[in-house]
Structure 1
Amino acid sequence: MASTVIPVELRAEVEVLWDHAQMHHEARTVDAGIGLGSHDLDVPVYTAELYHRGLFPRIVFSGGNAPGTTELFPRGEAVHFRERAMESGVPGDAILVEPDATNTGENIDFTRALFESTGTLGDIRSVTLISRPYQQRRAYAICRKRWPEVEVTCASRAVPLDDYVAGIGDVDRVINTLVGDTQRLWVYPALGWAIEQPVPDRVRKAFSRLVDAGFVRRLHPEQVGMRR
């Protein structure tokens, strides 16, 4: 059985990355909510809650499958997310499905193309990206680079770190993904895939300590500037 306990000796480093990964945006009214596919089924549930609060009139769930989600969502992340949102009371005609994206860049590109194909791209001037908490900053940077015309807000359910880990049920998976998302904050701009963002020294030091502790499974293969 997978552990759900953060190692005591690494808790401070995990908390640093967890806090930095979140944008801490205030919820606001936007033209569309975009639920980013992942292993986290709270994304469609929270997207439904924001919809019911009247923060956006339409939703796109984007995602096919990525490593680790095929068994969870055999028909694709976006399809399962749409079904979960409808179980939470969102009408089906308020939801579009983008079923092909396999990474966050494709989430953005394919969602934009979907709006264009439906003749509604001109109506989308602002979006909220709903994601797992530690995907926020990376998703924001990618969206600003690949869809610069829209104003971007990020949202995830506010949940304590320990509660989030317990909900996922696997602390190793959470820390590995958190480390990988942090690394992408400088790898992706170097590759031209995202805007540059400041990464404080405390974040880089926490990242390096977790890499040294063996949390390397989700590192980007390019590993540009991994130790910067």
Structure 2
Amino acid sequence: MNEKVLTAAKVLYDFHHQERPTNHADFILTMGSHDLRPAEHAAELFLQGKADFIVAAGGFGKITRDLWQIPEAEKYAEIMRAAGVPADKIFIENESTNSGQNFQFTKRLLASKQITVRSGLIVSKTYLGRRAMATAQRQWPEVDWYIDSPAIPFEQYPTVDVPLERMIALMVGDTQRLLTYPDRGFQVPVTMPDRVLGAYEYLIAQGYTTYLQ
């Protein structure tokens, strides 16, 4: 992979990685994906006392529908229980297929259990952070949202299970959604610097278009 592609990808990665940590929130919402590290990180945060319970959210997404036999939320819950999170502190929302539904369906789940929350701590893929927060603020604005995702440098993020080529294509798709989803009512608007737009357009020109809509 040429250096210009890597440089542009890092620009997107650094832009999408957003943090707003907190000492405590009412609950943690983990946004499911093919990357298992958010589940591990959510377990760590819970065991540090950062929240009272966890919602593992996610059914089968565009990648996991071809990879796993069980929904993302159930896979995440397995990991969190193995890490020491009590089973009765994990609620499972296993029907959502996109980021907006992660919040919509979790809101519905908690309402069905008559659980009221005022603050939430999002745990997502590192490079989904900015879109996760923008989505939460639109879909569930009554909650004060924080976000704390795995602090992994761009160079160390790709793995066998999270290949670099796919990761770049996903970031390009998420950048497009930040640009188009506010007008569709899915997310709050996000200001995008020129250098991020330039990196996005360059990567599209290089063929990273798999997850564009």
Question: How many Å separate the matches in 2 of 1:81 and 1:106?
Answer: 17
Tell me, yes or no, if structure 1 residue 69 matches structure 2 residue 61.
no
1:57 corresponds, among 49, 52, 56, to: 52
Q: Report the CA distance between 1:7 and its aligned residue.
A: 3.2
C-alpha RMSD of the superposition: 1.2
1:197 corresponds, among 173, 186, 190, to: 190
- Cα deviations across residues 83-142 of structure 1 (Å, max 9, x unaligned)? 11001000000000001000000000000000000000x2x0000110001111111111
Change (3 A) 1:169 1:100: closer
Tell me, yes or no, if structure 1 residue 91 matches structure 2 residue 86.
yes
**Paired positions, count:** 213
The residue number in structure 1 matching 2:16 is: 21
The residue number in structure 2 matching 1:218 is: 211
Tell me, yes or no, if structure 1 residue 128 matches structure 2 residue 86.
no
Tell me, yes or no, if structure 1 residue 115 matches structure 2 residue 110.
yes
The residue number in structure 1 matching 2:39 is: 44
Tell me, yes or no, if structure 1 residue 163 matches structure 2 residue 156.
yes
2:49 counterpart SS class: coil
Change (3 A) 1:66 1:78: same
Q: Report the CA distance between 1:166 and its aligned residue.
A: 2.8
The TM-score with structure 2 as length reference comes to 0.96
Contact 2:19 2:129 in 1 (8 A): no
The residue number in structure 2 matching 1:150 is: 143
Contact 2:59 2:94 in 1 (8 A): yes
Residue segments in structure 1 that go unaligned for 5+ positions in a row: 1-5, 221-228
Question: How many Å separate the matches in 1 of 2:54 and 2:200?
Answer: 34
State the 4+ residue runs in structure 1 displaced beyond 4 angstroms: none
Question: How many Å separate the matches in 1 of 2:68 and 2:20?
Answer: 29
Partner amino acid, structure 1, of 2:72: E
2:4 counterpart SS class: helix
The residue number in structure 2 matching 1:223 is: none
Contact 2:11 2:196 in 1 (8 A): yes
Question: How many Å separate the matches in 2 of 1:160 and 1:7?
Answer: 19
